[in-house]
Amino acid sequence: MIIRITPAENGRKLAEVLRGRGVSRRLITRLKRAPMGMTRGGELIRSIDAVYENDEIVLSEPYRKAFAEASPAEVPVLYEDEHCVVFDKPPFMPCHQSMKHYGDTLANVFAAHCPDTVFRCINRLDKNTSGCVLIAKSSLAAFSLQKSCRKLYIGIMPHTDSAGGRICAPIARERDSAIKRCVREDGVYAATTFYKLADTAYATLAAFIPETGRTHQIRVHCAYAGRPLLGDDMYGGDTTRIDRQALHCGEVSFVIPMTDRRITVRSELPEDMAAVMSRRMM
C-alpha cells in the first residue's frame, strides 16, 4: 500500500501519521518488524522518523501464506483496486471453507484471483444469499474498510401494504441450534430499516439497510414481523417460487483506504429473484 503525505501531515512522525489514518498500533509494530515493512524512496524508514509533504510511503505487510487451492468457478468482479476487490457472489456458494465446502467457496475464487493474498472478507454473506462481497487485500485495508463499509440488501417478502419501517428487536442464538437465530429479550441489540421498491399481488420487493450486523439479521427480523423472506425455509418462508432465501446484497459503499473518497458498487438483481417478481399470483 502506498500513502502520500499531505500538507497537514508535513513534518510529523510517521507513526503519528499512520495512527491519524486509522492504522492500529499492533499493525504498526508488525510493519516495523517486517524486512521492508515501511520504506520511502526504496529506503527503510522508521516509525519515529519525520515525513514531509508529497513523500510516498510504501507499507508492506509481512506475508502470511494463504491456502492456494483454487475453485474452477468464475465469479464476476464488480470493482477492484490495490486495496480491495468486490465480487458478485452467486447463490449457493459459501464465502468461507468448511468441512463440507473446501474447494468451492468464494475464498477459493479469491485465491485464484489474488495468489499469495490472505482472504479477508468484510461483509460475509450466507451461502444462499447473493450479491456484493467486499474483500480486503491486506489487514491495513481491512481495518479501514470494516469501519466504513455500508450495505444495502434487496429481498422479497410476501405482499405487504406497508411502505416501509424500522424493525428493532434483539437477536439471540436459538437454544437448540448452532446456526438458527431468533428474537429474544436477552438477545443482542439489532435494528433494520426497510422500504418498498415494487409490488405484485403475491410479493413485495424491498430494500433493507441493516443498522447492525447480527447473524441472519434481515431474515430473522422479517420472520419476526410476520413476513419471512420467500424461499427461506429456516425461518418459515414460502418455498414454492424460489429455492433459496430471496435476499441479495445489491450495494456496498466504502471509503478507499487512506483517502476520504467513498465509492458505491452495485449488483443487479439475480435472475431467480427477478423471475419471482415477474410472475403473477397463481
Give the active site residues.
126
The cell for 96 is 468461507
18-24: long-range contacts at Cβ-Cβ below 8 A with a sequence spacing of 24 or more? 18/47, 21/144, 21/258, 22/143, 22/144, 22/147, 23/140, 23/143, 24/143
Distance CA 113, CA 278 (A): 35
Q: Which triple of cell numbers denotes residue 105?
A: 467457496
82: which residues sit within 8 A by CB, 6+ positions away?
1, 2, 137
Contact (Cβ atoms closer than 8 angstroms) between residue 79 and residue 263:
yes
